[in-house]
Amino acid sequence: MMFETISIPQVGFTYTLPIGLFINNEYVASKNGEKIDTANPSTGEKITSFYAASEADVDVAVKAAREAYENVWSITSAEQRGRLLYKLAELIERDKFKLAALETLDSGKPYHSNALNDLEQIIQLTRYFAGSADKYNKGETIPLNHDKYAMIFKVPYGVVGQVIPWNYPLAMASWKIQGCLAAGNTIVIKPAENTSISLLYMAQLFVEAGFPPGVLNVIPGHGATAGTALASHPDVDKIAFTGSTQVGQKIMELAGSNLKAITLECGGKSPAVVFADSALDNAVEWIANGIYYNSGQNCTANSRVYIQETVYDEFISKFKAYTHKMWTFGDKLDPFDKKCTLGPVISETQFKRILSYVDHGRDNETLKMETVADFPKNSNGYFIPPIFFVDVPQSSKLNKEEIFGPVAVFSKFKDYQEAIKLANDTTYGLASAVFSENVRTINHFIRDVKAGTVWVNSSNDEEISVPFGGFKMSGIGRELGQSGMDSYTQLKAAHINLSNYK
């Protein structure tokens, strides 16, 4: 059977949930029949099992995408692609509460304060690319002389493989899918093995919207099997990946098998720098949200916070008070509870990994640690309260490595020169934030910081029309905005000669 009935009583939804691979607009079993269990991180209980793609299944999906590209999608007009995406946006909006509930069930993110926000962005993003489909892929004509001119075209790659992470299952998939389809490519996408059910469910909406078979194929599976097969497949023209830097490096190596184009959005250790002249309450609120939203499971989380020494103690006091008031598991340890603003982390593996950093900082480095709330008792879920460390030296492991959880690290600085040196002292370069009321300080920081995104007097407030991506070990290429289509096209040049050979 390709479907299973599940219910989410907290919101009154019952689903006929697809558990098959989605290939050629149909749900099918994997060739070897292997399945993956997925669990509710707030309880540890199994939700369902879905089919896991083998290498043979990846090959079938790629062939379906190739056939759809060559015979249908490559000759579908940009205007029609836009119409299909706009219809998709309407269907996502119709089903947003159901989709958000699946996200909460499978990933643990709070339903009211997080999952529904993700769906609003997805709807906005889908409409954005629906309107972009016939506007951003315009060519260019270059007059060279009286008898010759050149034309430059933006053309799709063809078949694109995509691999997405577990922290924003539908949002990260939509960042990739919608722009890629608008640009004229077909897709084989692998969701994370522990958060696949929401994308499998949403795949039905592409059929309902009218997308032809093979244009979008969803193949859940283990990274070592399905991810490796997709990244190395000789008939995949481009690979786009979001996830850890370590896996991104492997994807880059595998893509070299046929020199396929790559887009990588990898890890981060993003700094937030607070100058003494900043609006301190504003800085506290943005930074707390920047590290604890989505339980700190954000590549752009401002997990390194540098505060000018003259306001350091005041900032820490305000931060603790605000965090205690704002971030709560709710009364029932249930992410569907309206009071819940901090959900569990994704899995037992991630839970143990985060706590290993906490133990290291407290026990091995003897750093001063603050826990804003208690760890829940009598819970099988993976709940970690807001934690922060103060007076952390730059050499600390906690300042160097991505923790990917609700753990903040605070350090002091004296002046601008020290602040920018500390901010740039990392192998990553995904995002950054600066808090100041001084226009010179702000502009110097924007110029000097080595990061793909700079937030000024805010943090983690990305916009779907603005390019997003990293420097250094945080990745290659950009998503969102016009870049969200340009990254899925390549340039072709034509030389038109009007004269005879001389």
- Distance between CA atoms of residues 362 and 370, nearest Å: 10
Structure-token pair, residue 195: 């958060």
Q: Which residues contact 416 (CB under 8 A, 6 or more apart)?
A: 275, 441, 444, 445
- Distance between CA atoms of residues 164 and 189, nearest Å: 8
Sheet hosting strand 387-390, strand order edge to edge = 368-371, 387-390, 407-413, 304-308, 271-274, 431-435, 453-456
> 478 φ, ψ to 5°?
-135, 155
CA 139 → CA 77, 289, 490, 491, 494, distances in Å? 15, 42, 11, 9, 11
- Annotated catalytic residue 253: no
Structure-token pair, residue 120: 């609003």
280-292 and 312-326 helices, crossing angle to 10°: 50
Q: Which of 479, 475, 499 is nearest to 487 (CA)?
A: 479
Q: Which of 265, 285, 402, 479 is catalytic?
A: 265
Contact status, residue 24 vs residue 213, Cβ threshold 8 Å: yes
- Distance between CA atoms of residues 411 and 179, nearest Å: 39
HSE, side-chain direction, 13 A CA sphere, residue 321: 8
- Distance between CA atoms of residues 105 and 335, nearest Å: 8
In single-letter form, the type of residue at position 86 comes to Y
- Distance between CA atoms of residues 227 and 368, nearest Å: 41
**Dihedral of alpha carbons 305, 309, 311, 315, sign:** positive
Contact status, residue 488 vs residue 272, Cβ threshold 8 Å: no
Contact status, residue 75 vs residue 236, Cβ threshold 8 Å: no
Q: Which residue has the tokens 């193949």?
A: 219
HSE, side-chain direction, 13 A CA sphere, residue 446: 11
Q: Residue 98, Cβ neighbours under 10 Å: how many?
A: 18
Rounded to the nearest 10°, the torsion over CA 302, 305, 308, 311 is 100
Rg (CA), the chain: 24
- Distance between CA atoms of residues 330 and 340, nearest Å: 4
- Distance between CA atoms of residues 169 and 432, nearest Å: 23
Question: 3-class DSSP state for residue 33?
Answer: coil
Contact status, residue 179 vs residue 152, Cβ threshold 8 Å: no
State the catalytic residues: 265
